[in-house]
Amino acid sequence: MNKKNFIVLLISLLALPMMSQNPFFNQASTPHGTFPFNELKNEHFLPAFEEGIKQHAAEVDKIANNKQKPTFTNTIVALERSGKLLSKVATVFFALNSAETNDEMEEIAQRVSPMLTDHSNSINLNEKLFERVQTIYNQRDDLKLSVEDAKLLEDTYQGFANNGATLDADKKEIYRNLSKDLGLATLQFGQNALKELNDYSLLITDENVLSGMPADFMEMSAANAEKAGKTGWLLNLRYTCYSPLMTYADNRDLRREIWMAYNTQCLQGSKYDNTDLIKKIINLRLQIANLFGFDTYADYVLRFRMAENSKNVYKLLNDLLIAYKPYGEKEVATVQEYANAHGAYFTIQPWDFSYYSEKLKTALFNINDEMLKPYFELENVKKGVFGLATKLYGLNFTKNEKIPVYNKEVDAYDVTDENGKYIAVLYTDFHPREGKRSGAWMTEYKGQEKDAKGRDSRPHITVVMNFTRPTASKPALLTYDEVETFLHEFGHALHGMLADGTYASLSGTNVYRDFVELPSQIMENWAQEKDFLDGFVVHYQTGEKIPANLVQQIKDAANFNCAYACLRQLTFGFQDMAFHTITKPFEGNVIDFENAVTQSATLLPHIVGTGRCTTFTHIFSGGYAAGYYGYKWAEVLDADAFSLFKQNGIFDHATATSFKENILMKGGSEHPMVLYKRFRGQEPTVDALLKRNGIQ
């Protein structure tokens, strides 16, 4: 053995103990093959990424250099099923990086982002490989493929074309650099937003300053202070703190201080300034779009959305603006009148609106979150939401303590069907932590797919929230909005858990971005239904069933300020589209730009020196660039779809089965409009949404 080979062998032998201890290489036996989080350490990620990339590159090279003529099986399916280790590592890492991150993981993310971009580009820009894909694609009409196989071929080809395969050699190199820079910039944007959120705190030592705040809020903020080694009430900008302060704090100066802190995050001059990153991101996206011959990034993206182009998106946004704005103006005027009548001799500002809105809502409907929260104890809500899945789709949920979890607060469930057949694993993670980003989301630790022999590999799904924690004297009590959030994310989870596709890339929530919110938003409708609420909503202390009049008050108040809420969403939609329909490099002030493009849908006074784009992670570090309108489009879909449940019965078995088989199980295996029409029998119209919101 020569010296060089000896050194290689020695390195390999030394690496064996490290690999054998790494759960990505040698996974312990766990229920359903769930990931052994209890064995995972930060040091395991980088070697696993490196090995995953190495293995995937070898697999791709083998496909590209196959001596046999290209076929659907030896090229398209082979590509689809390659990279298992890398997919596993990336799925686990990025899911944890949102729910349980730390400084070391964020450094790893910065390090692996360009590695992954380079690897992806090496595949997409591999000329031999694309030649094989293109050969099969050109023969597609003669191959007699199934609908799902044809969709995989179409998506595979478009994936290559959309990522530079058809570019000239010099442009391919430009694309490599642009995509790498964009990946790092979007990653940095999200990290900055989380760090800025975590950095803020305000200690209150005078209880009178917190006049009006509910008892459980006081207990929570006192516990925050105690945990930080301080005496008093420690406030932060997480939703569980920010929202109650805006809603209940009598102290107007405090409301203003917190609102200003929330709406000046990551602005110019901040420690985590995102303003230049926004310019960099939108300009990089424009350069990529131009490279492919498109005038705007929106044009580049929307080809593969239900909306198809920016003209259709703007039509939706403007139609909703025209329909809702007169009602929104009346809603704001009504809140202003109420505030004036109750001693507020000023024009209400953004930090006043929620406060006076809540008081007006209580006066009109005799209902508010503090009245409802005792009936929405988290464990009961969980039973209710799980029970809804049982009624609609025959699913059952059994906690499995043997499944390893990544935090002691996380629970894991075996999900089975009505016959006891294993369907999925569901993880639930409900409360805020420093290492968890804000908001709520669903993702997966393993997707669903079938192997060459048709054996079904079932998914491992997680839902992550930031609900108010239990306190020393009370369990976790949810606001009505939090109940809707739970239902929303659980709808995404159902989409993932019930997936029944052959290919992972077409399974579950791997659908058009403006279709993915239908399964989630439709679930929110049940929160207003008495027959659903009666099944689980009881007072956490007395066990008393929620009174019928309170349920009716929930329904009566459902449309309170709904136009204002719609217009607020439209401001985000307009902002997103404006940033992504620029045709020349942007060099202006991003906050001035945001204000200008959202002005038509803004109802409250603009406060100089504030803005929201600098923490708009959906479009600048998530997957919603040129796609935020999808939330409003999904409202059109969900209202139209739920109208069929209302017509046939909210627990109607036939309707639920049709939704399950035509929407939830199908994933992205067919065009979403085909799937929707198969369920609904017609294309969606805006009528059901307008009717639901009382907009005529």
Can you spell out the DSSP letters for 46-70?
A: HHHHHHHHHHHHHHHHHHHT-SSPP
Q: Which residue's structure tokens are 């449940």?
A: 645
Phi then psi for residue 203, to 5 deg, are -90, 125
SS3 592: helix
Please tell me the predicted confidence (pLDDT) of residue 438.
86
* Count of other CB atoms within 10 angstroms of residue 565: 15
Please tell me the predicted confidence (pLDDT) of residue 13.
46
Please tell me the predicted confidence (pLDDT) of residue 252.
98
Does residue 32 contact residue 414 with C-beta atoms inside 8 Å?
A: yes
Phi then psi for residue 166, to 5 deg, are -90, 0
Phi then psi for residue 580, to 5 deg, are -110, 10
Q: Which residues pair with 412 in a beta bridge?
A: 427
Query: Is 489 labeled as catalytic in the residue annotation?
Result: yes
Classify strands 411-416 and 422-429 as parallel, antiparallel or unpaired: antiparallel
For the chain, residues with pLDDT lower than 70 are: 1-18, 696
What is the C-alpha to C-alpha distance for residues 146 and 152, in angstroms, rounded to an integer? 10
Does residue 136 contact residue 79 with C-beta atoms inside 8 Å?
A: no
* Closest by CA position to 273, among listed 573, 608, 591: 591
pLDDT in tens, 55-92: 999 999 999 999 999 999 999 999 999 999 999 999 99
Please tell me the predicted confidence (pLDDT) of residue 696.
64
Please tell me the predicted confidence (pLDDT) of residue 622.
86
DSSP string, 526-565: GGG-HHHHTTT-B-TTT-PBPPHHHHHHHHHTTTTTHHHH
Please tell me the predicted confidence (pLDDT) of residue 11.
47
Please tell me the predicted confidence (pLDDT) of residue 27.
75
Query: Alpha helices of 441-561 — where are they, by DSSP H?
Result: 480-497, 518-521, 530-533, 548-556
Tell me which of 377, 489, 517, 524 is the catalytic residue. Answer: 489
Please tell me the predicted confidence (pLDDT) of residue 16.
47
In order of start, what are the domains of the chain with their CATH numbers? 3-166 (1.10.1370.40), 200-262 (no CATH), 373-558 (1.10.1370.40)
Strands of the 396-399 sheet, one edge to the other: 396-399, 411-416, 422-429, 460-464, 441-446
Q: Which letter, b or e, does each residue of 140-163 get, where b requires 16 or more Cβ atoms within 10 Å of its Cβ?
A: eeeeebeebbbbbbebbbebbbbb
Please tell me the predicted confidence (pLDDT) of residue 526.
97
DSSP state of 204: E
How much is the pTM?
0.91
